[in-house]
């Protein structure tokens, strides 16, 4: 019983990070139809921004959240405006390949700047935790979850209430109609891609609190972002949150599997990806547009 409660809490805590990891990826894919393979590289840059601010200037990781967001937003905005915009109307595979190239480029610049050494951001409260009954909760992860919830809430409000947010949603619904209504699509695309990168930066900062850093750290999270955003529903902000939590919980429970069948020892900790992906397949077959997705996609 205690194990089940602990797994549930671990899953929810991990799911919060995954939600932010997937949010930017999901927006860019859902709104611009770009599968951004550089998303993992942006996450890595966000994490290293926090690392650099923390080691050089002793800035608390949570305080570096806005810095990561602004820096990565600027980078994403410029990349879309001056590079990606050239192939904005090309088939999805063209931009897919372009972001693959960009990702290689960014990761290797990082490799030359920070070397391949594994690094970490260790704050005074890194190891601190509290217990609730039998369940242990690390403070850093709890704050990370709260930050993730807050970011998701702000994003949802901004997209539905603000003028720019409405222009973004209009563009994703019908690019021609949006243009006729006076939406500057080039600008909106640059903002969305910037937003995607900024959110990746924020995710990177949150990740740096509980995971080790190295220039290729983004790959792992890119795959998870893929799964989470499809699980929740492409381009949907609440979908990313639900998808992230579901994925986190499934993965946490999967690690507990430990059986032996006919001499073959099966341990869940090695199979967590496989189990999470089987869940994804089942969700896709039952609900092909994701948990929070709309009926027509």
**Residue choice 8, 67, 71, 271 for contact with another protein (CB under 8 A):** 271
Q: What CA–CA distance (Å, rounded) separates 147 from 18?
A: 12
Does 291 bind another protein (CB under 8 A)? Our answer is no
Part of the chain binding another protein (CB under 8 A), chosen from 16-24, 104-112, 134-142, 243-251: 104-112
Instruction: Give the nearest distance from C-beta 228 to another protein in angstroms.
Output: 10
Binding residues for another protein, how many (CB under 8 A)? 54
* Three-state secondary structure string covering 162-175: CHHHHHHHHHHHCH
- Tell me the helices (H) and strands (E) count for the chain, helix number first: 11, 4
**Residue choice 4, 5, 63, 87 for contact with another protein (CB under 8 A):** 87
Angle of helix 268-286 relative to helix 218-232, nearest 10 degrees, comes to 30
Does 63 bind another protein (CB under 8 A)? Our answer is no
Read off the tokens for 153. 């809430």
Instruction: Give the nearest distance from C-beta 179 to another protein in angstroms.
Output: 10
Does 135 bind another protein (CB under 8 A)? Our answer is no
Does 104 bind another protein (CB under 8 A)? Our answer is yes
Does 114 bind another protein (CB under 8 A)? Our answer is no
Does 108 bind another protein (CB under 8 A)? Our answer is yes
- Asked if residues 101 and 87 have their Cβ atoms less than 8 Å apart, the reply is no
**Residue choice 65, 217, 246, 280 for contact with another protein (CB under 8 A):** 280
Does 173 bind another protein (CB under 8 A)? Our answer is no
Instruction: Give the nearest distance from C-beta 50 to another protein in angstroms.
Output: 24
- Of 60 and 273, nearer to another protein (C-beta) is 273
Instruction: Give the nearest distance from C-beta 16 to another protein in angstroms.
Output: 22
Does 93 bind another protein (CB under 8 A)? Our answer is yes
Place of tokens 């063209």: 94
- Asked if residues 31 and 178 have their Cβ atoms less than 8 Å apart, the reply is no
Read off the tokens for 245. 């939590």
Does 219 bind another protein (CB under 8 A)? Our answer is yes
DSSP state of 90: S
Does 23 bind another protein (CB under 8 A)? Our answer is no
What does each C-alpha distance from 216 to 40, 110, 121 come to in angstroms?
Answer: 8, 9, 17
Q: What CA–CA distance (Å, rounded) separates 158 from 167?
A: 11
Read off the tokens for 53. 């601010």
**Max CA distance (Å), the chain:** 67
CB within 8 Å of 91: residues ≥ 6 apart: none
**Residue choice 148, 234, 237, 292 for contact with another protein (CB under 8 A):** 234
Its sign, for the CA torsion 166, 167, 170, 172, is negative
Does 69 bind another protein (CB under 8 A)? Our answer is no
> Interface with another protein by CB under 8 A: which residues?
29, 35, 83, 85-90, 92-94, 96-98, 100-109, 112, 185-186, 189, 219, 223, 226-227, 230, 234, 263-267, 270-274, 277-278, 280-281, 284-285, 288-289, 297
């Amino acid at each position: 019983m205690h194990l089940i409660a602990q797994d549930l809490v671990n899953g929810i805590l991990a799911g919060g990070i995954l939600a932010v990891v997937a949010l930017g990826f999901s927006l860019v894919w859902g709104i611009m139809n770009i599968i951004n393979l550089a998303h993992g590289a942006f996450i890595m840059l966000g994490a290293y921004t926090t690392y650099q601010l923390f080691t050089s200037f002793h800035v608390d990781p949570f305080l570096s959240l806005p810095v990561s967001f602004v820096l990565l937003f600027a980078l994403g905005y410029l990349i879309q405006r001056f590079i990606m915009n050239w192939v904005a109307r090309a088939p999805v595979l063209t931009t897919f390949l372009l972001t693959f190239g960009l990702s290689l480029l960014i990761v290797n610049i990082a490799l030359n700047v920070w070397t391949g050494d594994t690094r970490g951001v260790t704050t005074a409260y890194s190891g601190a935790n509290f217990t609730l009954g039998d369940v242990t909760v690390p403070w850093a992860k709890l704050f990370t979850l709260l930050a993730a919830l807050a970011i998701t809430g702000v994003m949802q409000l901004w997209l539905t209430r603000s003028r720019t947010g409405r222009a973004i949603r209009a563009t994703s619904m019908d690019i021609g109609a949006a243009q006729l209504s006076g939406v500057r699509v080039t600008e909106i695309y640059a903002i969305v891609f910037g937003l995607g990168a900024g959110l990746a930066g924020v995710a990177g900062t949150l990740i740096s609190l509980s995971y080790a850093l190295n220039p290729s750290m983004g790959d792992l999270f890119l795959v998870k972002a893929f799964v989470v955003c499809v699980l929740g529903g492409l381009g949907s902000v609440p979908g990313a949150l639900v998808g992230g939590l579901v994925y986190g919980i499934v993965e946490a429970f999967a690690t507990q599997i430990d059986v032996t069948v006919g001499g073959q020892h099966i341990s869940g900790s090695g199979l967590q990806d496989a189990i999470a992906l089987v869940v994804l397949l089942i969700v896709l077959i039952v609900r092909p547009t994701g948990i929070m997705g709309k009926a027509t996609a």
